Amino acid sequence: MTLVWTLLKGNTFKFLTAILLSALSAGAGVAVIAMISRVSSADVITGQDVALLFVLIFLLFGLSFFSQAMLTSLGHHVVYRLRLHLSQRVLKTSVERIDQLGQPAILAALTKDVTSISQAFNSLPFVVYGAAVLLCCYGYLLQLSLPFFLCTLVMTILAVVIARQLMSASRQLKREVRENDDQLYDRYSGLLLGRNELKLSRQRRSSFFSNSLKPIVSKALGLEVKADRYTVLNGSWVNTSILLLIASIILIHSLFGVGTKEQLTTFALTILYLRSPLAGMIGSLPSLILGSVAYAKVQQLALHEGTDAVGELPEPETCWQSLQMKNVTYQYPSESGEPGFGVGPIDFELQQGELVFWVGGNGSGKSTCARLVTGLYTPHTGKIVFAGQEIDEGNRDWFLSHFSVVFADFYLFKQLINESGERPDSALVEHYLNALSLEQKVTVSDGELSTTKLSQGQRKRLALLLAYLENRSIILLDEWAADQDPAFRKVFYTELLPELKARGKTVIAITHDDHYFYMADKIYRIDQGHIMVDDETAHDYPSHLQNHTADEKEDVTC
Ligand SMILES: Nc1ncnc2c1ncn2[C@@H]1O[C@H](COP(=O)(O)OP(=O)(O)OP(=O)(O)O)[C@@H](O)[C@H]1O
């Protein structure tokens, strides 16, 4: 029920109207039965009775069509909103949380859970209609015969108690199926992302299939078969209990002479009429159970509650002087009992217009520090001060808006935008495509790149193009040059970086290219999560090469 109310927020009036129409349609159904029963037991059938019967039948048709169409359309609108709402929440959720959850879990929520919730909603008309018919029939039965009604009530309670037990067993299993689905999505990711490795090695393929994928799929099979067994048992039980009810009524009529023959016939007719909406209701139970399990799973992700994914931000600071990390620490959560990697305490200061290099061994914490300095990760202790302001949740999005970043695992969007989020000037795009030696490979039309299916090195150049066009104050490049050929690597260090600096940009470049360390204003070494100025490396270079570009700074913004 929580699922229904949460998703119906803002549409309660429409939903209640649809329920009212369902109730009226159920009432019309019962009136048709009562009419048939009256006409068939009457001595003389008048033309008026027949006309009324036809009117009631058409009324039943109209009401059931409108009520179900309304509920179905409401269901589709709810799913539409749910899709947008969830995507907005993902957009608002911190990178840290998304990294913690992992892509497969979020993809499973956006695809499988949304589908399950939509199916639950689409089955809602059957449930509402079934419940309305049930109530109307019970009302009719009550006024038909009290003893028969009491017998019905006892049987109903018994049926419901047993059905509840079966449903909760099925629900528990569906929950386990859903937990298993996260692992299944993880294996599917491996299947696609590891396509090269899997294709190349028969042993890897066989091991992945038999030891990694198949056990998860088999587990899902076992759980689903078991869960559906309970669901099918439940459906059969409810169907049987209806027939048992009719048999019980016949029994008490024959043993104790309760009720008349006509009452017995009408009773049986009403109960049999009830069977099909009830079957629809029971048939919808699995989707409802799946829907609520999926909803609980989405809630468990603890995505950001805010949905204002594209809210307004104050203008970025053009003259910010310095960015400081003061005593910053960060610790990854522990995994399989092992404590997570920790960085810090970090004290780091970046002056506007500087070109600094971060160097360090694999796994020393460079990318983690990059996520901290850009505000993508929130420090666990310590603080970041930018343009004199301490960064907190209130100004984090504003702080983030000062950075363009190309991480090692960057995503290349085809759509080009400038600093205002609009289509960039085509002459400028052309200029950068030339500078990046991509003019022969990629064209831009309607603000979109003609292709992103390029080599890794070329894709990285396009990622840099996107960063150029954003025209932000600070550019952070995580081992950008690692995929470039030696000639373009030289262009990058000796031309592109100095040009950025000359335009007043502040650049942090994470690099292992010691050939070009002399290009940096400052070099910082990151080791075991600690950052320090690397005087030794800096002194390895002739003084005329150090701070090579300091004098080249021209038209800076501040
Ligand atoms: N998403 C994550 N969850 C948990 N731990 C992580 C995660 N990412 C990194 N780590 C841990 O942090 C350590 C440092 O990772 P990081 O990516 O910051 O290193 P790096 O210096 O950028 O390495 P490289 O030069 O290889 O890119 C890793 O050795 C790992 O233990």
For 322-402+473-552, CATH gives 3.40.50.300
CB burial string 78-103: b at 16+ within 10 A, e below: bbeebeebbebbbebbbeeebeebee
CA angle 546, 552, 558 (to 5 degrees): 110
Does the C-beta of 341 come closer than 6 Å to ligand 1?
yes
Radius of gyration of the chain (CA): 34
How far apart are the C-alpha atoms of 68 and 156, rounded to whole Å? 26
Give the side-chain half-sphere CA count within 13 A for 115.
Answer: 5
pLDDT at res. 6: 64
How far apart are the C-alpha atoms of 447 and 422, rounded to whole Å? 9
DSSP 3-state assignment of 543? coil
Quickly list H helices, 319-416.
Answer: 366-373, 396-400
Least confident of 264-278, 290-304, 462-476, 528-542: 528-542
Confidence of residue 311 (pLDDT cuts 50, 70, 90): low
Question: Whose CA is closest to atom 17 on ligand 1?
Answer: 367
pLDDT at res. 309: 54
Q: Which residue would you say has higher pLDDT here, 473 or 537?
A: 473
| Segment holding 325, helix H or strand E | strand 322-331
Q: Closest by alpha carbon to 341, among 325, 327, 330? A: 330
- Which range, 107-121, 278-292, 516-530, 532-546, is most confident? 516-530
Measured in Å, residue 199 CA sits from the centre of ligand 1 at 28
- Which range, 37-46, 304-313, 345-354, 509-518, is most confident? 345-354
Give the E-state strand segments of 352-458 in sequence order. 355-359, 381-386, 389-390, 403-406, 444-445, 448-449
Question: What is the rounded end-to-end Cα distance, in angstroms, of the chain?
Answer: 58
How far apart are the C-alpha atoms of 473 and 404, rounded to whole Å? 8
Average pLDDT, integer, range 449-463: 89
Residue 555 has pLDDT above 50, yes or no: no
Strand partners, 524: 358, 533
Residue 498 is which amino acid? P
Measured in Å, residue 463 CA sits from the centre of ligand 1 at 22
> What's the token pair of residue 376?
């993508």
Average pLDDT, the chain: 84
Confidence of residue 258 (pLDDT cuts 50, 70, 90): confident
> What's the token pair of residue 248?
């019980």
Measured in Å, residue 382 CA sits from the centre of ligand 1 at 20
Write out pLDDT tens, residues 179-217: 898 889 899 989 988 888 888 888 888 999 999 999 999
Is 434 in contact with 461 (CB distance < 8 Å)? no
Residue 468 has pLDDT above 50, yes or no: yes
How far apart are the C-alpha atoms of 345 and 333, rounded to whole Å? 17
Residue 33 has pLDDT above 90, yes or no: no
Question: Whose CA is closest to atom 27 on ligand 1?
Answer: 362
Do the domains at 13-300 and 322-402+473-552 have one common CATH topology? no
Confidence of residue 403 (pLDDT cuts 50, 70, 90): very high
Residue 393 has pLDDT above 70, yes or no: yes
Does the C-beta of 340 come closer than 6 Å to ligand 1?
yes
Does the C-beta of 353 come closer than 6 Å to ligand 1?
no
Confidence of residue 450 (pLDDT cuts 50, 70, 90): confident
Does the C-beta of 511 come closer than 6 Å to ligand 1?
no
Confidence of residue 1 (pLDDT cuts 50, 70, 90): low
Residue 433 has pLDDT above 50, yes or no: yes
Write out pLDDT tens, residues 353-376: 999 999 988 889 999 999 999 999
**Residues of the chain above pLDDT 70, percent:** 93
How far apart are the C-alpha atoms of 369 and 375, rounded to whole Å? 10
Question: Whose CA is closest to atom 28 on ligand 1?
Answer: 363
Q: Spell out the domain ranges in the chain.
A: 13-300, 322-402+473-552
Cα–Cα distances in Å, from 140 out to 24, 33, 37, 143, 270? 14, 10, 12, 5, 9
Is 49 in contact with 41 (CB distance < 8 Å)? no
How far apart are the C-alpha atoms of 467 and 557, rounded to whole Å? 17
Assigned superfamily of 13-300: ABC transporter type 1, transmembrane domain (1.20.1560.10)
pLDDT at res. 210: 93
Write out pLDDT tens, residues 495-548: 889 988 888 899 999 998 888 888 888 899 999 899 988 766 555 554 444 444
